[in-house]
Amino acid sequence: MHTNYYFLRQLAPALTERLRGYRVASCFSQEKDELVIGLLSETGAEFWLKAQLGAAFPALALPETFQRARQNSVDLLPELRFQPVLGARLAQQANHQLVLFLRKAAGHAVAPQPLG
Task: Quote the number of domains for the chain.
Answer: 1
17: domain CATH number is 2.30.310.10
pLDDT tens by residue, 73-85: 899 888 888 888 8
Q: For residues 11 and 1, what is the distance between their CA atoms, to the nearest angstrom?
A: 12
Range of the domain at 48: 5-114
What's the helix, strand, coil split of the chain in %, to 5? 15, 45, 40
Q: For residues 37 and 44, what is the distance between their CA atoms, to the nearest angstrom?
A: 15
pLDDT tens by residue, 1-27: 466 778 878 888 898 899 888 999 999
